[in-house]
Amino acid sequence: MGDPNQSSQRMLVVSVEKEGPGANGITLSDGSFFVLGEEDCRELGVRPGGEIVLGHVAERAAAFERARCHEVAARLLGRREHSSWELRRKLGSRGFSEEAIDHEVERLVQAGYLDDERFARAFLAERMRRRAEATSTLVTRLLARGVPRAMAEQTVAEAVDCEARAQLLARAFQEVMRGVDRREIAEDKRARDKIARRLVSRGFSPSEALRLLEEEAPERGTQ
């Protein structure tokens, strides 16, 4: 809680400057700076050289920031699902205070508009549609977006079972083999090793890569 005496203290308004659409930056005689909506400024009678109650300015500024934070968050979520971590990072990069961000994230979670598990499912569906990757890589990608490890591992496990992993490996093989003649990797060890490295770079184990190569393009002399 703030000091009630301080919040009721009257301050001299040093300057009022435009601070973006519908907003003004207010500098007070104690050096403090607040951003208020133009309507708030009119209602409080804010003008250079005038006096204002510090607590009134602080309350209006906090409410105005929360409203702007909500508008930005709504636009971001309107484009795609976000994890809580992603949304916090983007709001922070736009200059919102930690207090305003905490308030907005809590509000969105309670309203059901922000859900890390739903984000993880949506992210995996899109990622797996576009590119075949191993389960460990998918978990890592979710962790990089702030999804808790337990949730990431569970969501990936639900999305990718053992049969699906084999399908992912087969699909990855088709993708890395585009433009490559199977006879080439059957006859040329360097070309074969290159395909294996590509599969490993997608998160599959060396043994999985080599086993698939033996099935799909056996080395000459081993058939």
- 35/95 Cα distance (integer angstroms): 12
Same domain, yes or no: 106 and 140: no
The model's pLDDT over 193-216, given as tens digits with 9 standing for 90+, comes to 999 999 999 999 999 888 888 888
Confirm whether 24 is domain-assigned: yes
Confirm whether 92 is domain-assigned: yes
Which residues are registered as beta bridge partners of 46?
none
Backbone φ and ψ for 53, nearest 5 degrees, come out as -80, 125
4 or 19, which is more confident: 19
Instruction: Give CA separation, 143 vs 87, 115, 116, 189, in Å.
Output: 15, 15, 11, 36
Same domain, yes or no: 96 and 134: no
Nearest of 110, 67, 106, 68 to residue 88 by alpha carbon: 106
Which tokens go with 121? 């499912």
- 192/181 Cα distance (integer angstroms): 11
Query: Residue 182 belongs to what domain range?
Result: 175-216
**pTM for this prediction:** 0.68
The model's pLDDT over 137-150, given as tens digits with 9 standing for 90+, comes to 999 999 999 999 99
Our count of domains for the chain comes to 3
